[in-house]
């Protein structure tokens, strides 16, 4: 068996997938590290000689009113008196234009440009922190959405300003407990146009008159909801805008001299009322600034045509006299500050240049901090910016120090500096890289295609002696090196992503080309046979239910509703495919015994006597297993968690840890249930292993199965008991309890590691009895025939010998059984040795051990779900085995150990199904963080251990199913002996039984293993590809950051974990194969003597 070759081929396939995922994610997911520092009043932002604490100086304004009208597009606010037939959204806010015309020094109206993604939460984050939000703002706290970065609300609070908030309840989740007074209203129901607005209006005017406030934030949602519901071109929009017009008028009437009024939209909307993307209609909102006292210079000097949304942050901060938030990237809005000539020296009125200087210094400080913790800003632009700032600062300091009027160029170059910093950061954080995304998509698509080709042509490729891999590797290396050299020459630096992309793509193309060639040559050799393999892409084949189900699954990833309901949708698909199996078998007439046919009864078919019995037995097994499968599918639905999008959904009661249950009786019930299912899990595994005689040997694996597995289970049960005890009930034992909480899980980890090590070191579960008495019977054996062929190579000799050994052993054991009256009875003797399940036994044990280990990381109630998982695995394996046996009974299946698509699809979908049924969801808040503290109740020092524990917890079902995947290959052979025992016993000539058949045909074995793994990888890869497509196509969808991007992350990391586990499973099989080979070598001399 060509183990190494197989493994390296799989490894190469996986790494191609990884490169594709890496490229796409690099272009799609924009990651930024949050800087958790805050600006304080003491920050020396002014030149050193002019130590002035501007918090205590009198600011320009004492109070501010922020009216945020959600989705107030800039053209809603324009007023065109010549427009005689205005659309519903035109000319409905005349107040703004009136004010601008009649009181030009008091107010301004600007287009206000938001950064994508133009969704409300991201926008609020944007115009309070002044930074550019990305999808992953890596902060300290993943689980809650509260803003931890320095922001305006925080600064207002620090400066002692009373912030009163009313409106959209998103603010409440972003700034919990930060407001002096808060009146949130539910924003979830998009159909409700009035609740939020009316709620605000009830309180707005009274609050403003009341005086118990310094900053009022009122966030109106009516316009946005109206857009979502009706679109912008609808009479309801006219009503809503007219209402807003009235609101603004009455607020203007109530604003006093020391108060600044800001009316703004957080983003725009498309004509259909949606937003989230980056089209101009979505990004361009309106910004209206007003003050009863004169605010703007009368002469309209350099007026900005468009104000970026982040610019509001430093402007508001400096106007209200608070420090600019630490991570702000915006620049101050110059017209609201007096230019240097007009500085009248009134305390706190910063001149334009001073404001710009404070701003630039803050931005530079942020840039320095950020480049210290993250490396994603290109170093050359960073150093360029640094040089620019030091030049400007020296220029400014000399200008201020020398009391010389600074040149007007200085202000302009400070502005240019700020703009270039923002552009650099935006290029790093806020822009998709479509080229990388496309490259990732192409590589993934080719990888899927390759998997499919490999799985269809695995026999061909394994047989082929040409070193495909070397060619692939050299091509990849060459392409990568070429691209690296090219980049070095043209750009001056090397971007690893593109080198990897070139390597992956070139090796993929070489592979596909060679495969085509190989296919063509074999087609030339044996005519029509390979044309069968060339016909996979006919529509009839694609519509076959197994691929149809896989296709439906992939298509479902493109719709947010199906992603939200993924758990149920996958269960539905698994159930459909499972029910399809018996229906299909019945359709082929394989399920029920053929009706008494005159032709067959006449004796045309020789083995007419035994099949009906076997067949009835097999079909009843099949139907029972389908029943079991359906039952466990249905029960698994009750372990699901809930997404926040699913309104009326109750998370499973089994998801709460026992320690949080109040009711003692319920706690006991849950505990008993969990422990008994743990016991059943262990018992079932042991039973299975004992049934096939794998517990007899004295090797490491048998030791693991006999001792470590139960001990692990006991450890887990004790740990649950300890962690469930409430702390007050056993006060005097508290030290013991905390010790046990530390020791028990750690010893479980240790046992698990020991078990895995033992399985790896000594995977054989074969027990050989050397029996002297056997010689009496052995004499009657036919003399070994290989003597006749001594001239042939030892390889062939060995090949010939193995059947002899089986026969010998079987005879001898039968002999022994007869004499000792063993209770095993008439079971074929070979089973007792455990040789028949030599491959599957360690794999099964590995799954069992891993299952208990992973269960340790879950809440206790999940033990039931894990038991269901084991049952479902068993049911799937038996269904597969029975249907294979049924097919082979009727002679419809050709030779080889092919695993058809249906069980593979079922197996991979079941992994997703149990991802949900173990309480996981593809969203970040639903990650079970408790897993990181199992065995480490006092926290961690590094990040690697908790991250890996949480990963193991999250992808438990992926790991188990992927490791167990090779079982699909072995199980039909394991069950064969049971199924067709009558025939085997009848025909003594049948030499190899059960998994030894694989040993007999190493070529077919490795081909089948390769086929199975590539098929599994194909299904997984197709799902990743589908979710990548969803993220790429729907990157402007409203739900992209809530549904698709998290789904992509989970799908991609699930693929990573699954493929890795699959490789582990395959490696274990290869390891067993090597061990079996050595074992036979040891036996050869004995037998030949």
Partner 1 sequence: MWDREIRAMASTHAIIAASVFMATVLPAVLVPGFSVYGTHLSWLYSVSGAVVAVSVAVFWLLGVAPPTKRNSLGHKLSRLFRYCLYFFLSCLFFHAVVVLYGAPLIDSALETFSLAVLLTSLTTLRCLCVLGPNVQAWIRVFSRHGAMSVWDTGLQITVACTVVGAWLGAFPIPLDWDRPWQVWPISCSLGSTIGFLTGLAAAPLWIHYHRKQLTYKCK
Q: Please select the residue that binds partner 1; options are 509, 547, 565, 992, rule is CB under 8 A.
A: 565
Q: Which of 58, 99, 63 is nearest to 256 (CA)?
A: 63
Straight-line distance from the first to the last Cα atom of the chain, in angstroms, rounded to the nearest whole number: 27
State the minimum distance, in angstroms, from the CB of residue 630 to partner 1: 6
**CB-nearer residue toward partner 1: 560 or 976:** 560
**CB-nearer residue toward partner 1: 456 or 566:** 566
C-alpha to C-alpha distance for 61 and 321, rounded to whole angstroms: 8
**CB-nearer residue toward partner 1: 202 or 561:** 561
Angular region, 165: left φ>0, alpha ψ -120 to 50, beta rest = beta
Q: Does residue 189 bind partner 1 (CB under 8 A)?
A: no
**CB-nearer residue toward partner 1: 407 or 561:** 561
Stretch that binds partner 1, among 325-333, 531-539, 570-578, 865-873 (CB under 8 A): 570-578
Q: Does residue 188 bind partner 1 (CB under 8 A)?
A: no
State the minimum distance, in angstroms, from the CB of residue 644 to partner 1: 14
Q: Does residue 936 bind partner 1 (CB under 8 A)?
A: no
State the minimum distance, in angstroms, from the CB of residue 531 to partner 1: 24
C-alpha to C-alpha distance for 251 and 201, rounded to whole angstroms: 11
User: Concatenated DSSP letters for 193-261?
Assistant: SSHHHHHHHHHHHHHHHH---SEEEEEE-HHHHHHHHH-SSSHHHHHHHHHHHHHHHHHHHH--TTEEE
Alpha-carbon distances, residue 716 vs 446, 664, 709, 1057 (angstroms): 44, 20, 11, 24
Q: Please select the residue that binds partner 1; options are 637, 768, 992, 1084, rule is CB under 8 A.
A: 637
**CA-based R_g, the chain, Å:** 36
**CB-nearer residue toward partner 1: 460 or 570:** 570
Q: Does residue 887 bind partner 1 (CB under 8 A)?
A: no
Whether 740 contacts 716, CB under 8 Å? no
**CB-nearer residue toward partner 1: 467 or 561:** 561
Q: Does residue 620 bind partner 1 (CB under 8 A)?
A: no
Q: Does residue 87 bind partner 1 (CB under 8 A)?
A: no
State the minimum distance, in angstroms, from the CB of residue 1059 to partner 1: 29
State the minimum distance, in angstroms, from the CB of residue 483 to partner 1: 44
Q: Please select the residue that binds partner 1; options are 142, 531, 536, 587, rule is CB under 8 A.
A: 587
**CB-nearer residue toward partner 1: 410 or 565:** 565
Say which residues have a Cβ less than 8 Å from residue 345's Cβ, sequence separation at least 6: none
Whether 449 contacts 1022, CB under 8 Å? no
CA torsion 316-415-389-407 (nearest 10°) is: -110
Site track 246-285 with partner 1 (rule: CB under 8 A), x = hit: ----------------------------------------
Say which residues have a Cβ less than 8 Å from residue 854's Cβ, sequence separation at least 6: 866, 952, 953, 956, 959, 960
C-alpha to C-alpha distance for 66 and 43, rounded to whole angstroms: 27
Q: Does residue 562 bind partner 1 (CB under 8 A)?
A: yes
C-alpha to C-alpha distance for 816 and 772, rounded to whole angstroms: 11
Stretch that binds partner 1, among 288-296, 633-641, 757-765, 882-890 (CB under 8 A): 633-641
Q: Does residue 595 bind partner 1 (CB under 8 A)?
A: yes
Whether 237 contacts 223, CB under 8 Å? yes
Whether 2 contacts 432, CB under 8 Å? no
**CB-nearer residue toward partner 1: 382 or 565:** 565
Number of residues in contact with partner 1, rule: CB under 8 A?
23
**CB-nearer residue toward partner 1: 442 or 623:** 623
**CA dihedral (773, 774, 779, 780) positive or negative:** positive
State the minimum distance, in angstroms, from the CB of residue 1043 to partner 1: 11
Q: Please select the residue that binds partner 1; options are 559, 696, 893, 1067, rule is CB under 8 A.
A: 559
**CB-nearer residue toward partner 1: 144 or 586:** 586
Q: Does residue 561 bind partner 1 (CB under 8 A)?
A: yes
Token pair 């706190």: residue: 348
The three-class DSSP label of residue 645 is coil
Q: Is the peptide bond before 117 cis (omega within 30 degrees of 0)?
A: yes
Stretch that binds partner 1, among 626-634, 726-734, 754-762, 876-884 (CB under 8 A): 626-634
State the minimum distance, in angstroms, from the CB of residue 285 to partner 1: 27
**CB-nearer residue toward partner 1: 561 or 1088:** 561
CB count in 10 Å sphere of residue 346: 9
**CB-nearer residue toward partner 1: 400 or 551:** 551
The DSSP secondary-structure symbol of 73 reads B
Q: Does residue 560 bind partner 1 (CB under 8 A)?
A: yes
Alpha-carbon distances, residue 747 vs 546, 755, 757 (angstroms): 43, 12, 15
The three-class DSSP label of residue 284 is strand
User: Concatenated DSSP letters for 208-225?
Assistant: HHH---SEEEEEE-HHHH
Structure tokens at 762: 């000594």
The three-class DSSP label of residue 290 is strand
C-alpha to C-alpha distance for 1073 and 328, rounded to whole angstroms: 61
Q: Does residue 181 bind partner 1 (CB under 8 A)?
A: no
Token pair 């007003």: residue: 290
Q: Please select the residue that binds partner 1; options are 294, 586, 726, 892, rule is CB under 8 A.
A: 586
State the minimum distance, in angstroms, from the CB of residue 173 to partner 1: 22
Q: Does residue 634 bind partner 1 (CB under 8 A)?
A: yes
State the minimum distance, in angstroms, from the CB of residue 590 to partner 1: 9
**CB-nearer residue toward partner 1: 594 or 1077:** 594
Q: Does residue 355 bind partner 1 (CB under 8 A)?
A: no
For β-strands 31-33 and 107-113, DSSP reports them as unpaired
Q: Does residue 592 bind partner 1 (CB under 8 A)?
A: yes
Stretch that binds partner 1, among 629-637, 756-764, 858-866, 892-900 (CB under 8 A): 629-637
C-alpha to C-alpha distance for 345 and 362, rounded to whole angstroms: 23
Stretch that binds partner 1, among 11-19, 582-590, 791-799, 827-835 (CB under 8 A): 582-590
DSSP element (H, E) containing 264: strand 259-264
Between helices 901-917 and 862-889, what is the axis angle to 10°? 170
State the minimum distance, in angstroms, from the CB of residue 642 to partner 1: 14
State the minimum distance, in angstroms, from the CB of residue 822 to partner 1: 42
C-alpha to C-alpha distance for 275 and 827, rounded to whole angstroms: 70
Q: Does residue 230 bind partner 1 (CB under 8 A)?
A: no
Q: Does residue 650 bind partner 1 (CB under 8 A)?
A: no
Q: Does residue 376 bind partner 1 (CB under 8 A)?
A: no
C-alpha to C-alpha distance for 190 and 404, rounded to whole angstroms: 58
State the minimum distance, in angstroms, from the CB of residue 992 to partner 1: 33
Q: Please select the residue that binds partner 1; options are 336, 425, 569, 1019, rule is CB under 8 A.
A: 569
Site track 518-557 with partner 1 (rule: CB under 8 A), x = hit: ----------------------------------------
Stretch that binds partner 1, among 204-212, 370-378, 558-566, 1070-1078 (CB under 8 A): 558-566
Whether 586 contacts 884, CB under 8 Å? no
State the minimum distance, in angstroms, from the CB of residue 569 to partner 1: 7
Whether 515 contacts 461, CB under 8 Å? yes
**CB-nearer residue toward partner 1: 469 or 637:** 637
User: Concatenated DSSP letters for 431-452?
Assistant: ---HHHHHHHHHHHHHHHHHHH
**CB-nearer residue toward partner 1: 374 or 548:** 548
Residues that bind partner 1 (CB under 8 A): 559-562, 564-565, 568-569, 571-572, 575-576, 583, 586-589, 592, 595, 630, 633-634, 637
């Amino acid at each position: 068996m060509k183990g190494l070759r197989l493994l390296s081929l799989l490894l190469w396939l996986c790494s191609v997938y990884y490169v594709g995922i890496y490229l796409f994610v690099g272009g799609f997911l924009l990651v930024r590290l949050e800087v958790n520092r805050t600006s304080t009043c003491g920050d020396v932002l002014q030149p050193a000689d002019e130590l002035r604490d501007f918090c205590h100086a009198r600011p320009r304004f004492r109070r501010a009113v922020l009216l945020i009208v959600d989705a107030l597009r800039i053209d809603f606010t324009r007023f065109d008196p010549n427009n005689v037939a205005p659309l519903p959204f035109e000319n409905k806010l005349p107040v703004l234009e009136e004010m601008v015309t009649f009181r030009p020094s008091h107010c301004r109206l600007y287009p206000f440009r938001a950064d994508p993604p133009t969704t409300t939460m991201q926008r609020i984050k944007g115009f309070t922190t002044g930074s550019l939000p990305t999808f992953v703002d890596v902060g300290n706290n993943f689980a809650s959405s509260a803003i931890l970065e320095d922001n305006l609300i925080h600064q207002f609070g620090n400066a002692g300003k009373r912030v009163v908030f009313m409106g959209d309840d998103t603010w409440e989740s972003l700034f919990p407990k930060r407001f002096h007074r808060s009146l949130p209203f539910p924003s979830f129901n998009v159909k409700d146009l009035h609740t939020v607005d009316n709620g605000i209006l009830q309180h707005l005017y009274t609050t403003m008159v009341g005086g118990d406030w310094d900053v009022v934030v009122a966030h109106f949602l009516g316009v946005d909801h109206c857009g979502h519901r009706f679109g912008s071109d609808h009479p309801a929009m006219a009503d809503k805008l007219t209402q807003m017009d009235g609101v603004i008028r009455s607020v203007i009437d109530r604003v006093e001299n020391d108060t600044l009024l800001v009316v703004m939209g957080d983003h725009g909307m498309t004509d259909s009322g949606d937003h989230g993307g980056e089209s101009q209609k979505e990004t361009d909102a309106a910004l209206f600034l007003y003050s009863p006292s004169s605010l703007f210079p009368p002469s309209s000097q350099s007026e900005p045509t468009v104000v970026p949304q982040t610019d509001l942050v430093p402007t508001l901060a400096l106007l209200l006299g608070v420090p600019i938030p630490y991570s702000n990237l915006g620049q101050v809005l110059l017209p609201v500050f007096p230019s240097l000539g007009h500085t009248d020296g009134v305390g706190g009125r910063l001149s334009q240049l001073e404001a710009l200087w404070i701003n630039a210094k803050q931005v530079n400080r942020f840039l320095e901090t950020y480049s210290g913790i993250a490396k994603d800003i290109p170093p050359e632009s960073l150093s360029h910016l640094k040089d620019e700032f030091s030049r400007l600062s020296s220029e400014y300091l000399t200008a201020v120090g020398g009391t010389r009027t600074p040149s007007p160029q200085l202000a302009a170059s400070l502005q240019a500096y700020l703009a270039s910093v923002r552009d650099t950061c935006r290029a790093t954080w806020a822009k998709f890289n479509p080229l990388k995304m496309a490259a990732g998509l192409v590589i993934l698509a080719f990888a899927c295609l390759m998997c499919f080709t490999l799985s269809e042509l695995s026999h061909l490729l394994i047989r082929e002696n040409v070193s495909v891999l070397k060619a692939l590797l050299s091509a990849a290396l060459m392409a990568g090196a070429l691209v690296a050299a090219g980049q070095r020459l043209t750009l001056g630096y090397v971007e690893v992503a593109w080198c990897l992309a070139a390597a992956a793509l070139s090796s993929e193309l070489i592979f596909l080309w060679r495969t085509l060639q190989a296919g063509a040559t074999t087609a030339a050799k044996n005519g029509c046979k390979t044309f069968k393999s060339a016909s996979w892409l006919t529509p009839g084949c694609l519509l076959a239910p197994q691929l149809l189900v896989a296709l439906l699954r992939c298509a479902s990833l493109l719709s947010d509703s199906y992603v939200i309901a993924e758990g149920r949708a996958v269960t539905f698909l698994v159930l459909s495919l499972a029910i399809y199996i018996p229906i299909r078998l019945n359709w082929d007439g394989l399920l029920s015994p053929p009706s008494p046919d005159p032709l067959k009864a006449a004796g045309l078919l020789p083995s007419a006597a035994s099949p009906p019995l076997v067949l009835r037995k097999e079909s009843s097994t099949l139907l029972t297993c389908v029943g079991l499968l359906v039952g466990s599918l249905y029960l698994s639905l009750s372990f699901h968690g809930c997404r926040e999008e699913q309104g009326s959904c109750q998370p499973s009661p089994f998801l709460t840890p026992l320690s949080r249950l109040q009711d003692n009786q319920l706690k006991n019930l849950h505990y008993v249930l969990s422990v008994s299912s743990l016991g059943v899990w262990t018992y079932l595994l042991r039973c299975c292993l004992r049934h096939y005689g794998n517990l007899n040997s004295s090797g490491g694996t048998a030791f693991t199965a006999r001792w470590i597995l139960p001990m692990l289970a006991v450890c887990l049960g004790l740990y649950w008991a300890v962690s469930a005890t409430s702390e007050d009930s056993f006060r005097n034992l508290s030290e013991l309890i905390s010790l046990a909480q530390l020791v028990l899980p750690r010893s479980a980890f240790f046992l698990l590691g020991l078990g895995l090590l033992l399985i790896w070191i000594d995977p054989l579960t074969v027990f050989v009895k050397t029996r002297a008495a056997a010689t009496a019977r052995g004499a009657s054996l036919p003399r070994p025939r290989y003597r006749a062929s001594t001239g042939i190579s030892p390889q062939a000799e060995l090949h010939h010998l193995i059947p002899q050994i089986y026969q010998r052993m079987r005879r001898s054991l039968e002999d022994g059984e007869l004499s000792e009256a063993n209770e095993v009875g008439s079971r074929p003797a070979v089973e007792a040795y455990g040789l028949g399940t030599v491959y599957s036994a360690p794999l099964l044990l590995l799954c069992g051990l891993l299952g208990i280990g992973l269960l340790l990381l879950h809440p206790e109630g999940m033990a039931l779900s894990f038991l269901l998982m084991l049952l479902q695995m068993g049911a799937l394996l038996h269904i597969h085995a029975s249907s294979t046996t049924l097919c082979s009974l009727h002679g419809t299946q050709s030779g080889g150990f092919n695993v058809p698509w249906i069980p593979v699809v079922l197996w991979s979908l079941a992994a997703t199904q149990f991802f949900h049924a173990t309480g996981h969801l593809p969203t970040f808040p639903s990650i079970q963080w408790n897993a990181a503290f199992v065995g480490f109740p006092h926290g961690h020092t590094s990040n690697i251990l908790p991250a890996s524990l949480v990963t193991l917890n999250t992808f438990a079902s992926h790991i188990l199913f992927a490791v167990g995947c090779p079982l699909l290959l072995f199980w039909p052979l394991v069950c064969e002996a049971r199924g067709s025992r009558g025939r085997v016993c009848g025909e003594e000539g049948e030499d190899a039984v059960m998994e030894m058949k694989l040993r007999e045909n190493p070529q077919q074995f490795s081909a089948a293993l390769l086929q199975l793994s590539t098929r599994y990888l194909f299904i997984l890869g197709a799902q990743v590809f589908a979710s990548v497509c969803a993220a790429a196509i729907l990157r402007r969808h409203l739900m992209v950051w809530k549904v698709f991007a998290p789904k992509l992350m989970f799908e991609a990391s699930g693929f990573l974990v699954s493929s890795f586990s699959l490789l582990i499973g395959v490696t274990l099989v290869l390891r067993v194969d090597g061990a079996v080979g050595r074992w036979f070598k040891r036996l050869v001399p004995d037998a030949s003597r």
